[in-house]
Amino acid sequence: MTQPRISRRSEQQILQDFVDMRFGMFLHYSLGTYTDEEWARPHQDPALFAPQSVDCAQWAAAAKSAKMEYAVLTTKHHDGFSLWPTQYGTQNVQYSGHREDVVRNYVDSFRAAGLKIGFYFSIWDRTAGFEAQGGHHVSDPTKQIEPAHVDVILGQLTELLTNYGRIDVLLTDGYTWQAGQQAVSIARVRELVKGLQPDCVLADICAVTQPWLGDAIFWEEPMGIRVPAGNVNAGVQGQTISDGWFWHPSTPTEELMSVADIIDHLNETEPRYTSFLLNCPPNRRGRLDENVVDRLAEVGTAWAGPDLSREPLPPQQVRTEWPVIPVAACATFWNSASDLYEVPYNAIDGRGDKNLETCWSTWMPTGGALPASLIVDLGGVWSNVTTFEYLPKQWNRNGATDGDVRQARVLTSVDGIAYELAADVTWASGATPKVAEWPARDVAYVKFEILAGTGGYSNVTGIKVGGRLVKPERAVDPRKDTTIQLRNRASGRYLADDGRVVAQVDEAARWILREAEEGYWWLEAENTGFTLTLNGAGRTAGASVHCARRERSHRQFWALTRIEDGSVILTNRFNMLTLGAGAEGATVSLRDPSLGEAETKWEITVVAAAGEAMPHVRERSDGIAFAAKRSEEIEGARG
């Protein structure tokens, strides 16, 4: 793998260069071209992709004739067919009716014409099953992004970003509006992209019209989303010259977008610091239709070209350049209305779309009166944390009772018990993201303490935490391989694996914390060696658990969130429900998240740190600080 590089230019300079590319060509070309589908169905025979040749040089010449400066090719669309010979799976050109690396052809042809290179890449892959229940178009409750899926996503992005030279633009799709940026960690995606292509502009195709999802905003015009007058955020507006993103049999003879309309778009987007990306779909012969080629040439003749007198891009809003992805969130209360179910996890799930957003809400009557607190667990202690961002409600706003946070405090902690004030903020209401910053510090937990909101309640559509100038690093976690006991606050009984059946028992049972991934843990029963596991695919309160052989599965991943009373909340990665037990010693099951319910609070007692003998209970843990102290004592004794 290519070693990460560091850009010599600031993010402001990179975005300035991007918006200076006023006009680009979007190229939707894939299996759907040959099946007459906008979204090709999954699991189709890759041999259906069978042009005799692919004339990328013709595409480039047409783009050049229109005075375009760059292009973006759909390297992989939602069906999962890849236009390059990826090593992952068989749904790609290597197994198609045209065994050519189309991405290589495209890159070489456009570079030869002096044009810059962009890639489109769909996170959603319906053939490989990279999809999440709850995202658009997926109702199957068993669907979930799993670690192996993320391996492939990052692996394919690595191929695209290392094998084809400099890439100027990367557009992701099927991400925020399908999986969400927590399920597929935006921190890992961003670190990969910026490490391999530090000058690449990253944007996500979604209907969030604020500087929130990436470096630039994508305005999807066919969905009715256009850059507004007065916009000063770097962006790109996508529109198609024909009816549909992909080529259809009607394309060669249909009425295309007119020259006047295209130039009007250029004149509209340019002063708004937005590049106009015009989709021109290649046909089944791997060429642009003659009507499209002629129209682009007419545009090039009629358009005067870039307005070089435009003022430079205004300074862009401060943002979390290096986000840390939380593993769990819990709150004092939330809106539990059955049709909304606005749980704390919604604040960190990184989801959104047109007229649709997930949020943590304190709206009454099922919420509660302010103040309210949201606890965000970062899954360990991270250095160089400096920045907190909050995204208010985006859709169906009325301006008066939208639950915009007006006054709040941001506090941080390294152990979940003692908090230190990071920022005391007062914000104007409105849909724009709000930011708080402080000098770099170590952080494991963030508390967002909301004091006042419009309408007397709060909506939190999104939360980001991380570093702006320096990438945070996660410290070695001293909890790794420690042996613990878990005692329920409500019942006073201990969690145990009773022959793969998870139960509460009077005699303390032991569990070993095994570090999983991204701040999550496996809980391994010492007596059986099996791992605490969600039973099936339950997503509602009452879902059961059992113990099974360890797997790399989110059903077995748990967040261990310590709260201020010293207890721990165990959150399952698959469904974000919390482990609980009835006060009367009833069945152990998963519950709705809450900071106040004793049934979901567990007292952790450390039996032995990693490598220690385990003859008896030694002393009780008060969290990360205790475990770190015990590790130091052990190392000192070993001398």
Give the pLDDT confidence score for residue 356 in this predicted structure: 84
- Ramachandran quadrant class, 523 (left: phi over 0; alpha: psi -120 to 50; beta: rest): beta
> Taking the CA atoms of the chain, what radius of gyration do you get in angstroms?
26
| C-beta of residue 465 within 8 angstroms of C-beta of residue 410 | no
Cα-based distances in Å from 109 to 10, 56, 164: 29, 6, 12
Q: Where are the domains of the chain?
A: 11-302, 322-467, 483-638
Residue 585 confidence class, pLDDT cut points 50, 70, 90: low
- pLDDT, tens only, 613-624: 444 333 333 333
Give the pLDDT confidence score for residue 338 in this predicted structure: 67
Is the pLDDT at 254 greater than 60, yes or no? yes
- Average pLDDT (507-515) is 95
Q: Which residue has the higher pLDDT, 186 or 637?
A: 186
Residue 612 confidence class, pLDDT cut points 50, 70, 90: low
Asked whether the domain spanning 483-638 has the same topology as the one spanning 322-467, the reply is no
Q: Alpha-carbon distance 377 to 387, whole Å?
A: 15
| C-beta of residue 72 within 8 angstroms of C-beta of residue 171 | yes
Q: Alpha-carbon distance 536 to 532, whole Å?
A: 12
Residue 587 confidence class, pLDDT cut points 50, 70, 90: confident
307-313 own/partner pairs: CB under 8 Å, 24+ apart: 307/270, 307/271, 310/270, 310/271, 312/16, 313/12, 313/15, 313/16, 313/19, 313/232, 313/234, 313/273
Give the pLDDT confidence score for residue 274 in this predicted structure: 98
Is the pLDDT at 251 greater than 70, yes or no? yes
Place of tokens 């991380």: 466
To which H or E segment does residue 63 belong? helix 56-65
Is the pLDDT at 4 greater than 60, yes or no? no
What are φ and ψ of residue 120, in 5° steps? -110, 135
Give the pLDDT confidence score for residue 593 in this predicted structure: 85
Among the four given CATH numbers 3.30.200.20, 1.20.58.410, 2.60.120.260, 3.40.190.10, the one describing domain 322-467: 2.60.120.260
What are φ and ψ of residue 634, in 5° steps? -65, -45
Is the pLDDT at 584 greater than 70, yes or no? no
Span between the terminal Cα atoms of the chain, in Å: 39
Q: Alpha-carbon distance 269 to 221, whole Å?
A: 12
- pLDDT, tens only, 398-428: 888 899 999 999 999 999 999 999 999 999 9
Give the pLDDT confidence score for residue 616 in this predicted structure: 39
Q: Alpha-carbon distance 98 to 33, whole Å?
A: 14
| C-beta of residue 19 within 8 angstroms of C-beta of residue 234 | yes
Give the pLDDT confidence score for residue 636 in this predicted structure: 39
At residue 333's C-alpha, the angle toward residues 328 and 338, to 5°, is 90
Where helices occur in 163-304 by DSSP H, the ranges are 186-196, 259-269, 290-302
Superfamily of domain 11-302 in the CATH hierarchy? Glycosidases (3.20.20.80)
Give the pLDDT confidence score for residue 424 in this predicted structure: 98
Is the pLDDT at 5 greater than 70, yes or no? no
| C-beta of residue 232 within 8 angstroms of C-beta of residue 273 | yes
Q: Which of 135-144, 302-311, 343-352, 431-440 has the lowest mean pLDDT?
A: 135-144
**CATH fold group of domain 483-638:** Trefoil (Acidic Fibroblast Growth Factor, subunit A) (2.80.10)
Those residues with Cβ within 8 angstroms of residue 265's Cβ, 6 or more apart along the chain or in another chain = 237, 239, 276, 278
Q: What is the mean pLDDT of the chain?
A: 92
Nearest by Cα to 202 from 101, 323, 288, 312: 323
Q: Alpha-carbon distance 33 to 42, whole Å?
A: 14
